Amino acid sequence: MASTTRRTPRQLTFAVLAAGAGFFAMMQSLISPVLSTIQHDLHTSQSTVTWVLTAYLLSAAIFTPILGRVGDMVGKERILVLTLVGLAVGCLLAAIAPTIGVLIIARLIQGVGGAVFPLSFGIIRDEFPAARMSSAIGAMSAIIAVGGGLGVVLAGPIVGLLGYRWLFWIPLMIVSLTALAAYLLVPESPVRNRGRINLLSATWMSGWLVALLLAVSEAPKWGWQSTRVIGLLVLAVVVFAAWAATEIRSANPLIDMRMMRLPAVWATNLVALLFGGAMFALYGFLPQFTQTPTAAGYGFGASVTEAGLLMLPMLVTMFVAGLLSGRLEAVFSAKAQLVTGSAFGVVACAALVVAHDERWQLGAAAAVFGLGIGLAYSAMTNLIVKSVPAHHTGAAVGMNANIRTIGGAIGAAMMSSIVTGHLQASGLPRESGYAHGFALLAGLSILAVAAALLVPTVRRAAHPAVDGSAPTPVTPPTPIGAAAR
């Protein structure tokens, strides 16, 4: 690992972090457009192949906050390296998987890589001076957001030219090099939160996350009123209550509930839930809309590659907005950016309800939504990072990412139920199903705007930085230590 006496240039540290986080984000969306190809190649059923996505989602949901917390305790760069190695191992196993069962196991292993998000933001907080932290977080958020969209764009060309297994070979090569670079170049953490992982708390948290995400992911197939879905949702509520009670009583909690009760934290997490629902649903269903055969009376009969290219305007605008967000924070606060980003989501989804007959209309709506993602992603992370103590950064950012994922799963499941609720005689969804679905996403975005308005406008309090550099601004209205007293 990089020596603490000979510091790696911050730009190089950022490049390593960006490569790891960007490629994991890309892995989240790279597989979705080619599930039918994988189903045919591995001779499996449609219901079974969807577990390639579900397994990845469940694994990432569990490991993201847990490994973020471990990084806070034992060193973020150490856990970052282990996380990248785990992601690389998962990619290797997926690339050579002879059966669908092996591929699902590989995706479970890849989910470990979800921890790169909180670890990367924690390292940025440790290594960057306060004056540059917001812009660095904004740039990293932009890269993560673009990575998620880039998977949709690249999946078609890669499969068309090389075959679907190269969706794992290419990330394997990049992630392996990134893991080596992280080991050699990323500095050791100057901030530690001594303690140990509460195994009971980790078990409870894993339990309610799995029950909740499994219920909402499978609800479109099983039915929202099915015994299995209702049973899992009830189980999720019961186990969540047990987890919260355990955390409140614990002297060494996995997720400090006092931290989660800070107004800036819970309000931002609520925005993450709502905005994540709109964002992930749009990622999944806008390409699906464009691929609908024109015989259905709408859609464009686009190929996977053409549908991905239609997402390019979104990638461009979200990247630009993310890069600018941190630099603008002095005159355009993180709260204002969060409100504005959510409002862009309202405009884009509302436009899709009434105008989706031409490709340029979809591209324009996607570009507007991209502006919203770029601003909101950066603002959410900046608000969380600046509202919690440095030694809680990994756990807090990890939980925010998890809540955004939960929102995404719920939004995608609700959209799927609406789109497939009324089918044509041909088996294709009706145009009205998509219109109602886009209206739902506009509604989620409106609620996200309302939640963003609840984020307090906080005075910045300067706390000494751990490395002796400029003070790091943190903004909890009630310090966690004070809440304990």
**Could you read off the pLDDT of 336-360 as tens digits, one per residue?**
999 999 999 999 999 999 999 999 9
d(CA 413, CA 221): 9
Q: What residues contact residue 183 under an 8 Å CB cut-off, 6+ apart?
A: 1, 81
Phi-psi region of 461 (alpha: psi -120 to 50; beta: other; left: phi over 0): beta
Contact 400, 268 (CB under 8 A): yes
- Specify the CATH number for 10-197+254-484; select among 3.90.1200.10, 1.20.1250.20, 1.10.760.10, 1.10.10.10: 1.20.1250.20
pLDDT value at residue 479: 37
Lowest mean pLDDT, pick from 7-16, 307-316, 439-448, 469-478: 469-478
Structure tokens at 426: 């041909």
Q: 65 to each of 42, 208, 387, how far by Cα in Å?
A: 33, 14, 17
pLDDT value at residue 458: 56
Q: What residues contact residue 98 under an 8 Å CB cut-off, 6+ apart?
A: none
Q: What residues contact residue 70 under an 8 Å CB cut-off, 6+ apart?
A: 79, 197, 394
Cα angle, residue 200 at apex, residues 194 and 204 outer, rounded to 5° = 120
Exposure class string for 416-437: b at 16+ Cβ within 10 A, else e: bbbbbeeeeeeebbbbebbbbb
Lowest mean pLDDT, pick from 115-119, 259-263, 471-475: 471-475
Residue 200 CA neighbour count, 13 Å, CB half: 12
d(CA 262, CA 93): 42
d(CA 130, CA 339): 23
pLDDT one-digit tens code per residue, 166-207: 999 999 999 999 999 999 888 887 766 666 777 888 889 889
| Nearest one of 372, 318, 314, 375 to 134, comparing CA atoms | 375
The stretch 271-296 carries a mean pLDDT of: 89
140 has a pLDDT exceeding 50? yes
Q: 77 to each of 179, 210, 399, 420, how far by Cα in Å?
A: 10, 27, 19, 45
161 has a pLDDT exceeding 80? yes
d(CA 357, CA 400): 36
d(CA 430, CA 420): 8
pLDDT value at residue 102: 95
pLDDT value at residue 481: 38
Percent of the chain surpassing pLDDT 90: 30
Task: For strands 472-474 and 461-463, give the pairing.
Answer: antiparallel
Longest dimension (CA), the chain: 70
Which one is predicted more confidently, 61 or 105? Answer: 105
Mean pLDDT of the chain: 84
Which one is predicted more confidently, 108 or 61? Answer: 108
393 has a pLDDT exceeding 80? no
pLDDT one-digit tens code per residue, 302-326: 888 888 888 889 889 988 888 888 7
HEC profile of the chain: CECCCCCCCHHHHHHHHHHHHHHHHHHHHHCHHHHHHHHHHCCCCHHHHCHHHHHHHHHHHHHHHHHHHHHHHHCHHHHHHHHHHHHHHHHHHHHHCCCHHHHHHHHHHHHHHHHHHHHHHHHHHHHCCHHHHHHHHHHHHHHHHHHHHHHHHHHHHHHHHHCCCHHHHHHHHHHHHHHHHHHHHCECCCCCCCCCCCHHHHHHHHHHHHHHHHHHHHHHHHCCCCHHHHHHHHHHHHHHHHHHHHHHHCCCCCCCHHHHCCHHHHHHHHHHHHHHHHHHHHHHHHHHHHHCCHHHCCCCCCCHHHHHHCCHHHHHHHHHHHHHHHHHCCCCCHHHHHHHHHHHHHHHHHHHHHCCCCHHHHHHHHHHHHHHHHHHHHHHHHHHHHHCCHHHHHHHHHHHHHHHHHHHHHHHHHHHHHHCCCECCCCCECHHHHHHHHHHHHHHHHHHHHHHHCCCCCCCEEECCCCCCCCEEECCCCCHHHHHC
pTM as predicted:
0.80
